Amino acid sequence: MSPVSENKASVIDTGFTELLQTIEQSAAALRIAAQTQQSDDIGASIAAQMGLPFHANAEMARQAAILRLASERLTQLVTPPRHVLFEAAGSFYATLCMKILVKADVASVIEDTNASGVAAGDLAKKVGMDKELMSRLLRHLASKGIFQEVSPGVWANTANSRAMAHAPEFVAHLDLVMYEGSLALPYWPQFMDARSSGIAPAPLSPFAMYAANQPFYQWIHSSAPAALGRGANFNAAMKGMARTEGVPFLPADYPFGAKFPAGTTVVDVGGGLGSLPALVLPAAPHLKFVVQDLDAVVKEAAARGACGEWVAKGLVEFVVHDCFSPQPERLCGGNVFVLKAILHNYPDSKASEILTHIRAANPSKLLIIDRVIFPQFPAHAAAEHQPDSDGTTLRDGAAPAQSLVVPTMYDLIMAALHGGRERLFPEWTALLETAGFSVGAIYPMRASTGQFVVECVPAELAR
Ligand SMILES: C[S@@+](CC[C@H](N)C(=O)[O-])C[C@H]1O[C@@H](n2cnc3c(N)ncnc32)[C@H](O)[C@@H]1O
């Protein structure tokens, strides 16, 4: 065998051919799913509104996820290992570029000036930056598909950078990741040391170390100078996050209307400004929602929440309630409880406390809407995963193809800000069991960063 053919054999051994096959098969399946798409499907209209043509139905979304994962692996495979490591080590320069360009709202300025391209000199003047430095920041992000140099020294948006234009709530979400994340960053080494040396009491999180032991939610509503405006930014970010996470698809991904009969009360624990009922009620106006949150958030919901008309119709009620205390008597017995993006804020001991209070309220069902991490083992052919016959639910423990870039980043964000965590499927099952819940079907949220609707029932109802 010549050295060249030996090389070819080792390329095949490392999965190159399999990855190419997966990409070809998924691309073909995606095309077929697009052709068989029903134009009146609720998912299709949401996909059109959100500008996500590859998520118009659940099968397309599934194939798009496989394509992304296989492409990520293929890119890693053909990139020299030292480049992969170097890029990971220097990835904070992308954060730096984002921080500066997002603050100057460059994406909106390009859109408003000339969407087909703005000369660097004009752009720099409009955003008040040095032309050369601004161009260098833009060029680094352009290497990641964010902004593009359409001709020498002329800058335009890409679909990615355009998502930041005139999107204050989405930008608030980016800002939350960058601002509070940067405050916590210097405390990670100390946090890791304290945890490994078993110092008691262990610090809650790197952010709490920065904030003199205040929990994150207390700090953002506090009078600390660095916290000024952060509570409002957080609430806006939660609205922006709903779009980042493809939450508008929720009525298509999980059939609230068909699942629950008229008269059902859904208790949205830590429901923020009411984005869940605002999404669900148009498709399921026979349901009622009680949204529970902290005092400051309930006040803001009254002033600026997403549910004005539904509150007026008596279908949504905002109530101050601390999720670490027992549920009020009137909500006990037979209601559906929802915990959306709540439990990942907490370590198991605290998450279990919240669950135990909900379990004591004797719900008919509990829906966890949160990330589930499915490790993508090399031997694990993600492409082989098939959804159940209804095309939406996953078989117990079946692993969907999932890019782990953002889910694992969220895991670290949760650790940084709250001492919380994202969870693997068996970790969810174990946590829920400690509080007396049994996990049933789980529904993927098609355009999210690994979120699922996990249906749970009190364990004795599952028997
Ligand atoms: C990550 S946000 C999720 C908000 C909403 N469920 C969503 O998905 O958009 C967490 C929410 O929990 C609320 N929260 C924090 N501590 C709480 C507590 N002790 N009791 C009730 N809600 C709390 C926060 O104010 C915030 O609205």
| Residue having the nearest C-alpha atom to atom 19 of ligand 1 | 322
- Predicted local distance difference test score (pLDDT) of residue 17: 87
The encoded tokens of residue 65 equal 């996820």
| 377 pLDDT higher than 80 | no
Q: Which residues of 221-257 are buried (b: 16+ CB within 10 A; e: fewer)?
A: beeeeebeebbebbbbbbbbbbbbbbbbbbbbbbbbb
- Predicted local distance difference test score (pLDDT) of residue 243: 84
Largest Cα separation within the chain, whole Å, is: 78
* CA count, 13 A, side-chain hemisphere, 336: 22
Distance 320 CA to ligand 1 centre (A): 11
The encoded tokens of residue 245 equal 């996470």
Strand, coil or helix: 260: coil
Average pLDDT of the chain?
Answer: 90
Question: Is the Cβ atom of 273 under 6 angstroms away from ligand 1?
Answer: no
| 188 pLDDT higher than 50 | yes
Question: Is the Cβ atom of 277 under 6 angstroms away from ligand 1?
Answer: no
Average pLDDT over residues 454-462: 92
| 382 pLDDT higher than 50 | no
Question: Is the Cβ atom of 354 under 6 angstroms away from ligand 1?
Answer: no
Distance 82 CA to ligand 1 centre (A): 41
The encoded tokens of residue 377 equal 């083992």
- CA 324 to ligand 1: nearest atom: 19
Average pLDDT over residues 291-314: 88
Question: Is the Cβ atom of 208 under 6 angstroms away from ligand 1?
Answer: no
The encoded tokens of residue 446 equal 């098609």
- Predicted local distance difference test score (pLDDT) of residue 200: 84
Distance 323 CA to ligand 1 centre (A): 9
The string of pLDDT tens digits covering residues 14-62 is 588 888 998 999 999 999 999 987 766 888 999 999 989 999 998 999 9
| CA 428 – CA 49 distance, rounded (Å) | 33
The string of pLDDT tens digits covering residues 60-111 is 999 999 999 999 999 999 999 999 999 999 999 999 999 999 999 999 999 9
Question: Is the Cβ atom of 341 under 6 angstroms away from ligand 1?
Answer: yes
What single-letter amino acid sits at 354? I
| Residue having the nearest C-alpha atom to atom 12 of ligand 1 | 270
The encoded tokens of residue 376 equal 């993508």
| More confident of the two residues 352 and 308 | 352
Question: Is the Cβ atom of 324 under 6 angstroms away from ligand 1?
Answer: yes
- Predicted local distance difference test score (pLDDT) of residue 14: 59
Model-level pTM? 0.89
| Residue having the nearest C-alpha atom to atom 9 of ligand 1 | 238
| Residue having the nearest C-alpha atom to atom 27 of ligand 1 | 272
Question: Is the Cβ atom of 444 under 6 angstroms away from ligand 1?
Answer: no
* pLDDT class of 445 with cuts at 50, 70, 90: very high
Question: Is the Cβ atom of 271 under 6 angstroms away from ligand 1?
Answer: yes
| 307 pLDDT higher than 80 | yes
